[in-house]
Amino acid sequence: MKISVAGLGYVGSPLACLLAQYNPVCAYDIVKDKVDLLNLRKPPVGDKDLGNFLANTTLDLHATLDLQEAFESAEFLIIATPTDYNADTDSFNTKSIESVIELALSYNKEIAIFIKSTIPVGYIEDIRERYAHERIYFSPEFLREGRALYDNQYPSRIIVGGDNEDCKTFAGLLSEIALEKVPVLFMGTEEAEAVKLFANSYLATRVAFFNELDTYCESRELKSSDVIKGVSLDPRIGDFYNNPSFGYGGYCLPKDTKQLKANFKDIPSSMISAVVSANDIRKQFISHQIIKSGAKRVGIYRLTMKTGSDNFRSSSIFDVIEHLKAGGLELYLYEPLLDETSFEGMKIVKDFEEFAKSVDLIVANRYNSQLVNYTDKLYTRDIFKRD
């Protein structure tokens, strides 16, 4: 089975590598650095398992910038390009998907296309009609940032929108790379689209709930960890996804909750809107607490969403930074992933000790052992130091 994977982000790269154990795979991207890294058998995205896998596994894998090479002889195309939320259109920006579909069909009219990018409910039916191509399907992915290789090897479930031979073959490809037997669900295209949005919105709801619990405890000078532990020991609730933060962020939760909210237009609802609002309120509260501390020189420790991540996208710290700027605070940044000397008006201090000693308060969305000697000037809501 000749497979093309378009988009070498945190979804596409691990999937291309895993499929290449058993199939010839051509990985396509428009970013030359990602293509070059993959051909050197180096991970183009941050994933602690992917580098080791690439270095120690025999793969029938080639990455390319060449459209003809990517699409002309492929039997299956997997699209894993980003679909950011567009506030002006109140929907995902799906142009990257459509661009790949148009290019692929210009080289190969018979190709079966499986979309992994998150999309609005009803998108597949629309795109099939627009391109007069029935062999377009959706198969949602459920991956944690930085753990995409592992989550493809040990998936909670495989879902494919459709039940024809294309869909069964594709489900077989995904099952083949899984290291344990996994439930496989075939369903309608709109049902598959809805699963992705509702699953991520549920996770966002849980994050927002425990953040709001923490807001209450901090405001009332209660010990959040005790309240959370007492709540989470109920087996119906569980001791997971309960570590407070500055707000949910990252690749999926912010955009997926907003898209689901938009999909509820003209349908009675309140919960998803409340979750989106709760996340904004949380970041405002965090900012207020920092300003209330009286610190004038504030250091922002890392822009990443979580420990071990290289992702800045939609990180909750950015909204906090904007609120702090509006409050007139002098901001400094420690972010070793940046080479610049300044970032969005903040001076970047490259030496951590210099950074820590030069500010009145260190603000960290996620704790790191590097901060251990500065807990007396640290503001974080990372209570359990595990997420």
Q: Boundaries of CATH 3.40.50.720 in the chain? A: 3-187, 199-379
Q: State the 10-residue block means of pLDDT for the chain, 387 residues long.
A: 95 97 97 97 90 96 97 97 87 95 97 96 97 98 90 97 97 97 97 97 98 98 98 97 94 91 92 96 98 97 78 86 96 94 93 97 95 96 84
- Which superfamily does CATH assign the domain made up of 3-187 to? NAD(P)-binding Rossmann-like Domain (3.40.50.720)
| CA distance linking residue 88 with residue 213, whole number of Å | 32
| CATH class in words for 199-379 | alpha beta
**What does DSSP say about strands 346-348 and 342-343: parallel, antiparallel, or unpaired?**
antiparallel
- pLDDT of 229: 98
pTM of the model: 0.92
Is there a catalytic annotation at residue 252? yes
* Among candidate residues 230, 227, 377, the one with its CA nearest the CA of residue 299: 377
Residue 323 in contact with residue 292, Cβ under 8 Å? Answer: no
Could you tell me if 242 and 210 are in contact, meaning their C-beta atoms sit under 8 angstroms apart? yes
Dist CA 14 CA 19 (whole Å) = 9
- In the prediction, which pLDDT does 308 show? 62
Task: Give the integer Cα–Cα distance in Å for 139 and 78.
Answer: 10
Q: What is the pLDDT of residue 307?
A: 67
